[in-house]
Amino acid sequence: MSGSGAREAVFPTRQSLGLMKSKLKGAQTGHDLLKRKSEALTKRFREITRRIDEAKRKMGRVMSIAAFSLAEVTYAVGGDIGYQIQESAKSAKFRVRTKQENVSGVFLPQFESFTVEGSNDFGLTGLGKGGQQVQRCRETYARAVETLVELASLQTAFVILDEVIKVVNRRVNAIEHVIIPRTENTIKYINSELDELDREEFYRLKKVSGKKQRDQAAGEKEREVALAAAEGKENVDLPTRAAKDTADSEDLLGDKDNEDVIF
Amino acid sequence: MSQPASAYKDRQFLAVIGDEDSVTGLLLAGVGHVTQPPDSQKNFLVVDAKTETSAIEAAFDLFTTQRKDIAILLINQHIAERIRHRVDTYTAAFPSLLEIPSKDHPYDPDKDSVLKRVRRLFGE
């Protein structure tokens, strides 16, 4: 009964029984809370994965439109502008900042794009011809990058949530399958030990009182026998014998007194 | 686990590893950034057929682990394919890694490392 399963190393006392009981209660509350947290996170997680799937498809479309507009630029400018653009890129106009969103105690960062006002690095691109196409291409790509940023924040949330859900589930399982059974085992063990002590104590008391009764009965009998003998002798015999007998009976009475005190 | 705010509050740039057209387009949108002269580092890498895989890996390492100011790393899917093992084993939240389609290589959702994880989670 108490030997089955792991239990904590405690002394089987009433105090540790109380401790274990409160621990079990705490573990059950914690388990409920964590389970609810895990469910809330999983719900969020499913929603995010669905949105990622959609956003990825949207990104495919947006990027192909953007690539087409770049092809237009190449055609209008009449040459490759890649090198020129790579060389003139100096400071990022398009940047992202992160803010946090709190989902049941988990902070999910979200990227938010913003543009830095300032000089345009590509002011001279397409100056000769195709300026309009370059402008349009820039706008198309800016929109595409916004989609990408949105997708990136979804993906980051996905990665973080994935990890957090794993951790939470691990905790839920640890409490459910390790901590709660172990605490229950400990409580059972303490209870059985305390019962055992109770039984032992009861048995001991019974034994002691039984012994007392036996001793008393024996003493009573002996005294009666002695009294009877003394009376018989008094009737027949010498006063000296009688005196000795009374001394004996006094002794006997003395013993009995002592026993009574003990009892 | 969720990181402290310091893990990503300085991250404000996008980095690109891609073919010439993708990089050009994204630079036009204004993501390009070159750090101050002494060790001027670009936040983009143009990859063509002649680029060594080791160079791509080096850039990938630079953008993902060494630089702390990059929030999102965009990489063309066909280039990600060349360093697939690195992309698949990359699981950190920051910078977030995004595979994008290129002009010559349409987007294939089956190869995306994140979508693969999504699929696996839902047992498809």
Taking only the tens place, the pLDDT of each residue in B39-60 is: 777 888 888 888 888 888 888 8
Q: State which residue of chain B sits closest to A119, comparing Cα positions.
A: B30
- Residue A243 in any domain: the answer is no
- Number of neighbouring beta carbons within 10 Å of residue A207: 10
Interface check for B109 against chain A (CB to CB < 8 A): the answer is yes
pLDDT at res. A194: 94
C-alpha A136/C-alpha A249 separation (Å) is 131
Does this complex have an ipTM over 0.85? no
Q: DSSP assignment, residue B6?
A: G
Query: Is residue A191 classed exposed, middle or buried when 0-12, 13-18 and 19+ CB atoms within 10 A define those classes?
Result: middle
**Tokens 């209008």 identify what position?**
A76
Q: Which domain holds residue A114?
A: 14-187
Predicted confidence (pLDDT) at residue A45 exceeds the cutoff of 70: yes
Burial A216-237 (b: 16+ CB within 10 A, else e): eeeeeeeeeebeeebeeeeeee
Q: Extract the runs of DSSP E, i.e. beta strands, from chain A.
A: 94-103, 106-115
- Residue B4 in any domain: the answer is no
C-alpha A129/C-alpha A78 separation (Å) is 8
Interface check for B116 against chain A (CB to CB < 8 A): the answer is no
Tokens of B69: 């100011």
Q: DSSP assignment, residue B66?
A: I
Interface check for B96 against chain A (CB to CB < 8 A): the answer is yes
pTM, 2 dp: 0.71
Q: Compute the average pLDDT of residues A190-197.
A: 94
Q: CATH number of the domain that B76 lies in?
A: 3.40.50.10580
Hey, which residues 69-108 in chain A have their CB within 8 Å of chain B? 70-71, 80-82, 85-86, 89-98, 100, 106-108
Q: DSSP assignment, residue B64?
A: I
- Residue A226 in any domain: the answer is no
Of the ranges A117-121, A140-144, B102-106, B109-113, the best mean pLDDT one: A140-144
In terms of DSSP bridges, do strands A106-115 and A94-103 run parallel, antiparallel, or are they unpaired?
antiparallel
User: How far does B51 lie from chain A, in Å, by closest CA?
Assistant: 16
The pLDDT tens digits for A237-257 are 555 555 555 555 555 555 555
C-alpha closest to that of A180 among A26, A24, A19: A24
pLDDT at res. A17: 92
Q: State which residue of chain B sits closest to A62, comparing Cα positions.
A: B101
Q: Compute the average pLDDT of residues A113-132.
A: 68
Q: Compute the average pLDDT of residues A124-131.
A: 64
pLDDT at res. A121: 62
Q: Do B101 and A167 touch (CB under 8 A)?
A: no
Q: Compute the average pLDDT of residues A164-178.
A: 92
Tokens of A32: 């409920």
Between A89 and A169, the higher pLDDT residue: A169
Query: B96: left (phi > 0), else alpha (psi -120 to 50), else beta?
Result: beta
Residue B37 has, within 13 A of its CA and on its CB side, a CA count of: 0
Residue at A106: amino acid letter: V
Between A40 and A234, the higher pLDDT residue: A40
Q: Do B29 and A115 touch (CB under 8 A)?
A: no
What is the number of structural domains in chain A? 1
Q: State which residue of chain A sits closest to B115, comparing Cα positions.
A: A53
Q: Compute the average pLDDT of residues A29-56.
A: 90
Beta-carbon contacts of A7 under 8 Å, excluding residues fewer than 6 positions away, are A182, A185, A186, A189
Q: CATH number of the domain that A154 lies in?
A: 1.10.287.3240
Q: Do A89 and B22 touch (CB under 8 A)?
A: no
Question: Which segment of A77-91, A138-152, A209-223, A247-261 scores lowest on mean pLDDT?
Answer: A247-261
The pLDDT tens digits for A55-113 are 888 888 888 888 888 888 888 877 777 777 777 777 777 888 888 888 778 888 888 88
**Tokens 């990089």 identify what position?**
B23
Interface check for B113 against chain A (CB to CB < 8 A): the answer is no
What is the number of structural domains in chain B? 1
- Residue A258 in any domain: the answer is no
Average pLDDT of the residues of chain B: 79
A82 near A136, Cβ under 8 Å?
Answer: no
Of chain A, the percentage scoring pLDDT greater than 90 comes to 33
B30 near B14, Cβ under 8 Å?
Answer: no
Query: Residue B97 belongs to what H/E stretch?
Result: strand B96-100
Q: Closest partner residue to B34 among A56, A60, A89, by Cβ?
A: A89
Between A170 and B44, the higher pLDDT residue: A170
pLDDT at res. B79: 87
User: How far does A36 lie from chain B, in Å, by closest CA?
Assistant: 18
A112 near A97, Cβ under 8 Å?
Answer: yes
Question: Which segment of A3-12, B16-25, B62-71 scores lowest on mean pLDDT?
Answer: A3-12
Q: Which domain holds residue B16?
A: 11-122
Q: Is residue A228 helix, strand or coil?
A: helix
Q: Quick one: CA torsion of A218, A221, A222, A226, rounded to 10 degrees?
A: 170
- Residue B46 in any domain: the answer is yes
Question: Which chain A positions have a beta carbon within 8 Å of B115's beta carbon?
Answer: 52-53, 56
Q: Compute the average pLDDT of residues A199-203.
A: 95
- Residue A259 in any domain: the answer is no
- Residue B90 in any domain: the answer is yes
User: How far does B72 lie from chain A, in Å, by closest CA?
Assistant: 7
Q: Is residue B34 helix, strand or coil?
A: strand
- Residue A156 in any domain: the answer is yes
Of the ranges A153-157, A192-196, B25-29, the best mean pLDDT one: A192-196
Q: DSSP assignment, residue A177?
A: I
Q: Closest partner residue to A151 among B2, B98, B109, by Cβ?
A: B98
- Residue B93 in any domain: the answer is yes
pLDDT at res. A2: 46
User: How far does B6 lie from chain A, in Å, by closest CA?
Assistant: 11
Q: Do A162 and B29 touch (CB under 8 A)?
A: no
